[in-house]
Every structure is written in structure tokens, then in C-alpha cells.
Chains A and B, each alone.
Chain A
Amino acid sequence: MNNNGFASYFQLSNVDWPKMWLATWETVWMTLVSIIVVAILGALLGLLLFETSNSKSAGARALNWIVAAFVNIFRSIPFIILIVLLLPATQAVMGTIIGPKAALPSLIISAAPFYARLVEIAFHEIDHGVVEAAQSMGATKGQIIFKVLLPESMPALVSGITVTAISLIGYTAMAGAIGAGGLGNLAYLDGFQASNNAVTLVATVIIVLVVFVCQFAGDIVVKRIDKR
């Protein structure tokens, strides 16, 4: 097997396609599951940040400070370190530290705070007058959240999810390098360590395609729901 020359990239016969599709599915699965959890968790945290940010009560301010600190700390930890840091916790929660499932806790914990910030910003961008109009009509807090804040910021929330999903795809590859499965894992083990450049190239192309599809789908949805 020629594994040095440029031509080695195109020796597609060296690619184990079933394995490649399995890895692709693992990447997509990790991304999908974590993005769903991140969307919910991030929206909750973002809402908490938003609601407590302008509050006068000391309790709310303290809560805001705690949530903001949590968000800032987990947003600053480099992902590869976060995985290692969370290994014992992952073992305890998921019962394993290898495979796609084991990647979920660190993926979620790294992306949720990031998305929470995006959600908070999206809520702050809603014209305060609209919220006030709803208040003047006698809306409850819940009605304001579900009928004003969420629908009015939906395009920003969706584009935020797109951005978060794309960085999550990158993280899954990183997680793959230390045993989480997926295309990153395949490129590292079968591509790099077995000097099989064709596998690396194909894995790269598939990842790029997944990112493109994700961005494209996000853009289309935003365009459809944005009536401004």
C-alpha cells in the first residue's frame, strides 16, 4: 500500500464503506441528540439569564450571577480538556467512557452555556415595547415567554442553534479522537494511525457535507420564519 504519495488520498478501495457509514451515523447521532438537549437546556438557561438580568430583587441578582458564572466557566474550558475533566462523571452517569453515548455529557455541557448566551442575546434584542404591550394587555409571565419572547426571537434562536450545531459537529470529531466513535474517531484511527489517507479524506468530505447541510437547513428555516 502506497501511503506517502499524493495519490494515496484517492485509493478509495482502501475505504471500508460500511464502517464509514456507521461512523457517519454515529457523528450525526451524537450531534442530533446533543443539539436537542442543548436547545432545551440552553433556552432554559438563557431565559433564566434574561429574566434575572434586569431584576431588582437580590435573590434574582444572585441567581443571575451564579448562572452567568457557570456559563462563563464552561464556555471557557477547551473542549478536549473538558472531556478529560468529565471522564469520571461520564463513567458515573453513562456507565461507560467510550462510544457515542459517552460523548454526550461533555458535548452538552460545553455547548449548552454557549447557546444560553445566544438565547439571552436574542431575547434582549426583542423590542421592550412589545413585551410591555403584552403586559399592558394583562399577559402573565408564561404567556409573555411563550407568546412573545420565543416566537419573536425564533429566527435568532434557530440561527443560534445552527451555529451551535456546527461547532458541535467539530466537537464530536474531537471527542472521536479519544474514543467516542464517529467520523473523527475513524479518521484518527483508520486514517492517521493506519496511514490510510483515503479514509481521512472521505471522512473529511462527509463531515464538510454534514456541516453544509446543517447550515443550509438552518438558513432556509430562518428565512421562512423571519417576517420582519
Chain B
Amino acid sequence: MIEFKDVSKTFDVKEGQVAAVRDVNLTIPDGKIYGIVGYSGAGKSTIIRMLNGLEFPTTGSVTINNTEISKLKGKALREQRLKIGMIFQHFNLLWSRTVFENVAFPLEIAKVPKAQRKEKVLRLIELVGLKGRENAYPSELSGGQKQRVGIARSLANDPEILLSDEATSALDPQTTDEVLDLLLDINKKLGLTVVVITHEMHVIRKICDQVAVLDAGEIVEQGPVLDVFKHPKQAITKRFVNQETSTSSQDDTTLAVSELLKKYPNGLIIKLGFHGDQAQLPIVSSVIRKFPDVDLSIIEGNIHQTTEGALGSLYIQVISDNQDSVKEVLSYLNTMRVETEVIEREQ
């Protein structure tokens, strides 16, 4: 279990002091994938780097399985680091070494005998799907392959924790998904705890069990991924969730909605939210059947898979000469197991 307790970090700069992290309290359970999302400069990197002592808190404590990382120094810290793997946005491979030698690197650091190294390295290379490329140099690999080497390297000393520092941010969407699948696979197979920091909500949705949203060094929201996606509370969280759940850009939908509101002042625009099994209910057709005097048009809809099931939203417009029917539709929708949100006209 990883615990951040009242962790703050200030950096001294020429202009004075900058608070990178403020009063962070986090508990990360074993075996889970925990995501920390935030814009650049929010303090994500500082937080993750405290886990392997590349950064130390100014106040507060960081504890992994009852060992206070923030107090370790020298040899004790180096030994702790052997148990923590890390992957990086820019891979940070040694270009002078082959794939094999790169994966063997942490084993050399841990002084594992050469004979044992070979067998282990080959197994890891196979695990990340790079069999046959052992003798290639990083410069001969694609970005996704380089990150696979990075992952194999991070697993070499059988870590209990894997830290992912924006590991997919330099990759294209297709490769990102492949690398994320690999991380998910490794989490399941090896049962290790994974801490992911990212600015992409996509990463959170795809692999994380829990998420914390970081804004200006503070955690403004945290919880299970599905809950945060369903009921984002803070404005910044909503922005992150929208970034992921709207297929067209959110601005386009907002624009279309406000146009429709202007054009049909007696119409009602409702945003429906689905998750899990609800996404499969035939809600629209049952509304049409039940309210024959109501016109219903679909504005925009989408659906996404998370680790805990599907998550979708649908914008519909309800128009009728009879305002009572419109209200009835709304109350009918409320009785269905679906979340409704009436989009108001902008003042």
C-alpha cells in the first residue's frame, strides 16, 4: 500500500518559492492501477517522483508498505528503488545498448549473476512481445517498441510497484492503446501496483481502477474511475471527462445545442447518461411509443468502455406543442434507470 500523508513540496526559484504540491493525501491499494491526471505543471511528475526518491517532500511523508521513502538515503534508498520500476515519456533507453542489454541493465545494477540475467531478460523480452529483436538498437525501433523495452526494463528486478510517467504521451493513438493493453496485462499477470500519471483521460478510462485529479498541486477530486466519469464534481474534472467522452469536440455540441435552443424555444434538450447495462436499454424507442404527440430528435451520442463497463451519453431534443407532455417525458426518463440533465438556455 502506498500512502501520501499531508505531502507538500515547494521549490526555491529566483522569484521566491513555488508550491508544486500542496497537502496531498492519497492511499493507493496494492495490485490496482491508480491514475493521477492533471494538466502540465499540475505537480503530477513531482508526486510520482517522490515514490522512488527522485524528489523529496518538503513536509509530510510518503510511505510504501510501511517504509517511509521520504526518509531513506544512500544505500537504503537504492535498495528500495530496485523494487520500484519506472517508465518514461521519452523512454530513456541507453542508445549504446541493444534491446537485450537495455533490459539487462537494471539486473547489472542489482548485481544479478550473468547466467541468471540472460534467462530473465529473454523471458521479459518475450513478455512485452519483442522476441527476435534482442539485438536491435533503440534507434532501430519504433516509439511503441521502445516503450516496450522500457516496460521490460522496468520489470527486470521484479518490482512491487510500476510507475508510469506519461508513458504514452509521445505515442500515436494506436500505439498508445497497445502499450496500455500491455500495462493492463502485466498488472493482471504479475499483480503489481501501477501508478500512472497522464494528461490524457483516455489512459485513465482505459486502464485505471481509481483516479485522482490534480490541479495546481492539489488533489481536487478522487475516486473509482467510473464514479468520476459519471459524476464529475469539479469544473476541471468535467473538462477532463468531456475531453474523453465527447466524440466530436465539446464546443461543437455546445454550439449545436445553443442553436437548437434558440430555434425551438419550446423544445427541451436533455443529456442522458448511461453506464453499465443501462447503455443497452431501448429508452428512445420506448419514449416515442409512449408519447405519440412528442417529437424526439437525437443530437449527439457516444459510448466508451472503461475497466468497469460501458459509459455513454446521449443528447436528445424533445419538442411538443403540449408543454405538459414534455414534462411527462422528463419525469418518465427519471423513472428509467438513466441520468438526465436538462440543458438550459444560456442567459
Contacts and interface: CB of A to CB of B under 8 A. Distances in A.
Q: Do A and B come from one complex?
A: yes
Contacts of B108: 143, 147
Contact of A137 (B93, B97, B105): B105
A227 B139 contact: yes
Interface stretch (B80-88, B199-207, B280-288, B306-314): B80-88
Interface string B145-185: 00000000000010000010000000000000000000000
B92 A140 contact: no
B54 A136 contact: yes
B92 A228 contact: no
Most chain A CB within 10 A, of B77, B93, B105, B163, is at: B105
B94 interface: yes
Given A132-B54, A136-B81, A137-B157, A227 B88 contact: no
A151 B97 contact: yes
A133 interface: yes
A225 B98 CA distance: 12
A139 interface: yes
Contacts of A78: none
A148 B78 contact: no
B95 interface: yes
A137 B92 contact: no
Interface size class of A (residues with CB under 8 A): 20 to 34
Interface in B97-112: 97, 105-106, 108-110
Contact of A138 (B79, B93, B138): B79
A24 B3 CA distance: 70
Contacts of B54: 132, 135-136
B95 A134 contact: no
B205 to A, nearest CB: 27
Given A127-B90, A129-B90, A137 B96 contact: no
B210 interface: no
Given A133-B86, A140-B78, A227 B96 contact: yes
A140 B76 CA distance: 12
Given A129-B88, A132-B54, A137 B95 contact: no
A30 B52 CA distance: 50
B39 interface: no
A228 B94 CA distance: 10
A132 B163 CA distance: 14
Contact of A130 (B93, B109, B157, B163): B93
A120 interface: no
Contacts of B109: 134, 137-140, 143, 147
A222 interface: no
A148 B106 CA distance: 12
Contacts of A135: 54, 81
Contacts of A154: 96
Contacts of A26: none
Contact of B92 (A129, A138, A227): A129
Nearest to A139: B109
Contact of A147 (B88, B105, B110): B105
A152 B79 contact: no
A58 to B, nearest CB: 16
Nearest to A129: B92
A106 B280 CA distance: 85
Contacts of B163: 136
Contact of A151 (B52, B96, B139): B96
A138 B81 contact: yes
B4 to A, nearest CB: 18
A130 B94 contact: yes
A37 B319 CA distance: 89
B269 to A, nearest CB: 48
B90 A137 contact: no
A138 B95 contact: no
A130 B137 CA distance: 15
A136 B97 contact: no
Nearest to B90: A129
16 contacts: A127-B92, A129-B92, A132-B54, A133-B92, A136-B54, A136-B84, A137-B82, A137-B105, A137-B157, A138-B77, A138-B106, A138-B109, A147-B105, A147-B109, A227-B95, A227-B137
Given A137-B109, A138-B109, 19 more contacts: A129-B90, A132-B92, A134-B105, A134-B109, A136-B52, A136-B86, A137-B81, A137-B105, A138-B80, A140-B109, A147-B108, A147-B109, A148-B94, A151-B94, A151-B97, A152-B94, A227-B96, A227-B137, A228-B95
Interface of B: 52, 54, 77-82, 84, 86, 88, 90, 92-97, 105-106, 108-110, 137-139, 157, 163
Interface of A: 127, 129-130, 132-140, 143, 147-148, 151-152, 154, 225, 227-228
